[in-house]
Amino acid sequence: MAKKVQAMVKLQIAAGKATPAPPVGTALGPHGVNIMDFCKNFNAKTSKDEGLIIPVVVTVYADRSYSFITKTPPAPVLIREAAGLDKAAETPGRGFVGKITDAQLTEIAQTKLPDLNTDDLDAAKLQIAGTARSMGIEVV
């Protein structure tokens, strides 16, 4: 018999750096989840992606147990990393603050493909290129 789902909580946490402090504690605490156990499991699963922000969907069951699914890092995080920037343009559309190559664009699109609404790599590249443009980053 399937467990009864009490809540689904979506968070974005730095890979390998989950702590019981906010946002993890404040999001999961009211649902009765063992926060230290979640942090230990999340950090073990994401330790190889150190330095990236990892979206996670935590499913909390009625018996206070949980399961979680990690997603790929957000596209803007990957684009900023590829361009070597700390932040995107403050006024996008009025010039470019950085550049990424087509090869970097392809790599980011392949990374994001499981979480996008397409199976086509060319369509994924167009989506990522649009995100880069809106950040003030040129694709060359």
| Dihedral of the alpha carbons of 14, 110, 112, 59, in degrees to the nearest 10 | -80
Q: Which residues pair with 55 in a beta bridge?
A: 12
Angstrom distance (rounded) from CA 81 to CA 47 = 18
Average pLDDT, rounded, for the chain: 87
Give pLDDT, residue 2.
67
**pTM value?**
0.79
Q: How far is the C-alpha of 120 from the C-alpha of 22, rounded, in Å?
A: 37
CA 19 to chain CA centroid, Å, is 17
Please identify every stretch of the chain with a pLDDT value under 70, giving residue numbers as ranges.
1-2
Task: Give the model's pLDDT for residue 48.
Answer: 86
Query: What residues have CB less than 8 Å from 74, skipping those under 6 apart?
Result: 12, 53, 55
